[in-house]
Amino acid sequence: MTRPATEGARWTERLFRAALVVKGVDGAAELLGAVALWLVPGDWMHRLAVLVMARDLVGPPDAPLARHLVHGLDEFAPDANRTFVVAYLALHGVIKLVLVWALLRRWLPAYPPAVALLGLFVVYELVHARHTGSVLLPVLALLDVAIIVLVLREYRLLRRERALRPDGRAAPG
């Protein structure tokens, strides 16, 4: 059974699917990033950062972006931090990919956990942004909130659709 084909419903359905594709690409990138970080030695990353700064690709070496890059690499150097980042990226990526797969297949039991996990991501992004002063993390949190709204809307419509009988009348009870 399909939904009524109103223009608004089609637009939000496309928006929902596009948001899921973006989340899936993001999850795949995180997973690939975790694998790359696991395989690439830390001294190689430092050499790459020096090369980037030497070519002024992030501005002058004493500019805020260059300082941020060096500080991030210094924080990343210890094995404990590196292990945490690799594990976090891998777990985050896998969770996103599984949720995207389940939501694209319209598997009803996946919707509540998806909302809960996205909510946890929002809380983490906002707390981490507060501690680091990041401007990007609140923007990502806002996007996740928008995706939560779309997931809730889709969940409500899917539940209503599945509650209808094949003849289009509401199921009893």
Residues 35 and 82 in one domain: yes
Residue 53 and residue 62: Cα distance in Å, rounded?
9
Residues 44 and 73 in one domain: yes
In contact, 120 and 157? CB cutoff 8 Å:
no
pTM: 0.69
Residue 7 and residue 89: Cα distance in Å, rounded?
38
Q: Where are the alpha helices (DSSP H) in 3-41?
A: 7-39
Mean pLDDT of the chain: 80
Residue 76 and residue 32: Cα distance in Å, rounded?
18
Residues 111 and 91 in one domain: no
DSSP for residue 133: T
- Residue 112 in domain: yes
What are 19-53's pLDDT values in tens digits? 899 999 999 999 998 898 888 876 777 677 666 66
Specify the pLDDT at position 40.
Answer: 81
Across residues 90-100, what is the average pLDDT?
Answer: 92
Among 95, 128, 155, the domain-final residue is 95
What are 59-94's pLDDT values in tens digits? 566 667 666 666 666 665 556 567 877 888 899 899
Q: What's the Cα-to-Cα distance from 40 to each of 22, 77, 91, rounded to whole Å? A: 26, 12, 19
3 state DSSP class of 106: coil
Residues 115 and 84 in one domain: no
Strands (E), the chain: none
- Residue 4 in domain: no
3 state DSSP class of 3: coil
Domain residues for the domain of 143 are 106-173
- Residue 9 in domain: no
- The angle formed by the CA atoms of residues 20, 21 and 27, to the nearest 5 degrees, is 90
What are 105-132's pLDDT values in tens digits? 999 999 999 999 999 989 998 998 898 8
Specify the pLDDT at position 173.
Answer: 47
Q: Which of 126, 152, 128 is nearest to 139 (CA)?
A: 126
